[in-house]
Chain A
C-alpha cells in the first residue's frame, strides 16, 4: 500500500516530500488505508454530522463588507440545519447573529417575496410581517401590538435567539453550540491565524451559487486535490493537455495540516508567461484565464503577505486553505482570492458557493480580465458538478466499500478522517451524558 503511494523519482526530486517519503505518512494522525465514504451516502450519518460538526464548529457566513453601515444586515440560510440567521451590524458597530425567527408565533422574521431566499439591506429595527412585533438591532423585543392582551408577558424574556458570532480578518463566523468549545481564534489555530492578507482592499466581489446532487464532502474533495485537473479539465487548457500532465499527472508542492484545517500549495502558472500556443485566443486578448488576471493587482509586492506559502516553496502559485468543516480560501499569485462554501442540504445534495474577490478595477481592461477569470471558474466548476453527481451515484450503489487514496489526495483523506473524528467524539460525549 505504502509503496504505491511513492511518487516517481523524477517528480519526487522536483517536488520534494517530507523525510518519511510521503505527505500522508508525515502526519501520524493519518494512515494509508483505503477510505470508506459511508459518511457521504448514509442519511443516518448525515443526522449525526449535523449535530457533531455543523452545530459545534465555527462556520463562516460572510464578510464585514456586506455590513458596511450601522443597521446593515443580511440573512443567511443554513439549509442543512433547517435554519436561517440574521447577521446585523448594531448601533455600537458590533456584528451580531440571531436566529431569524419571531418569538411570538415562530414566523420567519426577515424576508421579502420568497421566504426561502436570502436578503440584505439596512434598517433601524426588525418588524414581523405577521403581527408587527418589533426587535431592535441588538435583538431586544421592543414592541408588542396590544401588549395588554397577553398574559404576564415581559418583553425582556422574548428577545431574538442569539447565535455566537465572531470576526476574524473581516470573515464573520457563527457557532450554533450553546457554549462553543473554543474561541474562534483558538479554533482557527496558528496556521490560519498567521494569515495577514489585505482582504479589506479586495472589495470587487463576484458570487456564484450552485445546486448540486452530491454529498458536500464528495464535492469538497474535488476542490482539495490537484490530481484530477489534467484529466477532468484537460480539454479546456492547452497546458494541461501536454503529455507531461496527461501521462505523469500534476504534483502539489506543499501540504500541511493544523488541527482540523489543511492547506495545499502549488507552483505558479499565472501571468501568461508561456508561449502563446498555451493560451486560448480569448485569454490572449483579455490577459486572463484560469489563474485569474495575468497582470498582478496593486496588492502584489515582492514580499508575500504573512501566512501565505507556508511551505516556503520557490515558484509559489497558490495556497488552497481548507478551514474545517466547509470553508476554503484560495490565494493566487497575481493578487486576488477565492472562497468556497460547501453547505450540506441533505446527505446527497449541497449548496455550493464560490466568491471571487479582486481589487476594484481601474479601467475596462482590468474589469474584463476579472470577467474572463470568473467565467473560466464556471466552465471548470460545472465540469466538476456533473462528475461529482456521478461519483455520488457510484458510491450510493454500495458496490465498493473502500477506496484507495494517493498521496496527492492527502487533503481528502484528512477531511474524511476529521469528520469521523468529530462524529466519534460527539457520540462519546453523548454516551457519557
Chain B
C-alpha cells in the first residue's frame, strides 16, 4: 500500500487528498470554481460528518507543530469551509451576481 496520507482514523478520506488538499485560499477558490456541484457535494458529504471528530483529533497537537498527515487533514477542513457555501447556500460553485470583480486572500497565516 502507498504511504499513508492522513491519520489512520481518517483513512476513508484519503481519496480526497488529491485535489482537495490545497495550500492557499486562491487555490481552494479556483478548485471551487472549476468543480461541478456533484464533485463539491461528494466532498462535502464525506467531510462534514467527520469534521467535529477531525477537529478534536487535531486539537491535541500544537498548532505550529502539526505532523504532515495532520496538516493534510487540516487543509481538507479549510477546503470544507470554502465548499460549504456552494452546498449550504448557493447551490452553485460561484457567488451569484459577482460580475468581473476579484477578491483574493493575498496573505494567510500558516498553518
Hey, which bits of chain A sit against chain B, CB under 8 A?
Answer: 204-213, 235-236, 280-282, 285-286, 352, 354, 361-365, 367-368, 371-372, 374-375, 378-379, 381-383, 385-387, 389-390
Contacts and interface: CB of A to CB of B under 8 A. Distances in A.
A213 B105 contact: no
A285 B48 contact: yes
Interface stretch (B2-10, B11-19, B94-102): B94-102
Contacts of B89: 235-236, 280, 379
Nearest to A376: B85
B109 A386 contact: no
A206 B105 contact: yes
Given A210-B104, A282-B81, A385 B98 contact: yes
B105 A383 contact: no
Contacts of A213: 99-101
Contacts of B52: 285
B105 A386 contact: no
B92 to A, nearest CB: 12
Interface string B58-82: 1101110010000000100110111
Given A209-B103, A352-B103, A383 B98 contact: yes
B41 interface: no
B106 A208 contact: yes
B84 A280 contact: yes
Given A364-B58, A367-B111, A387 B97 contact: yes
A382 B98 contact: yes
Nearest to A281: B88
B68 to A, nearest CB: 15
B51 interface: yes
A354 B80 CA distance: 23
Contacts of B105: 206-208, 374, 378
Contacts of B109: 204-206, 367
16 contacts: A204-B109, A206-B105, A210-B104, A282-B48, A286-B81, A363-B58, A363-B59, A367-B74, A368-B78, A371-B77, A375-B81, A379-B89, A381-B103, A385-B101, A386-B95, A389-B99
Nearest to A366: B63
A401 B28 CA distance: 42
Interface of B: 25, 29, 48, 51-52, 55, 58-59, 61-63, 66, 74, 77-78, 80-82, 84-85, 88-90, 95-109, 111
A372 B103 contact: no
A191 to B, nearest CB: 30
Contact of A383 (B55, B97, B102): B97
Given A375-B85, A379-B85, A385-B103, A364 B59 contact: yes
A367 B100 contact: no
Nearest to B61: A364
Contacts of A382: 95, 98, 101, 103
Nearest to A285: B51
Contacts of A286: 51, 81
Contacts of B63: 361-364, 367
Contact of A210 (B66, B101, B108): B101
Nearest to A282: B84
Given A208-B106, A382-B103, A371 B95 contact: no
A206 B107 CA distance: 6
Contacts of A389: 99-101
A386 B55 contact: no
Given A364-B55, A368-B77, 18 more contacts: A205-B107, A206-B107, A210-B101, A212-B101, A212-B103, A285-B48, A285-B55, A362-B63, A363-B63, A368-B78, A371-B78, A379-B85, A381-B103, A383-B95, A383-B97, A385-B98, A385-B103, A386-B95
B46 to A, nearest CB: 14
B73 to A, nearest CB: 9
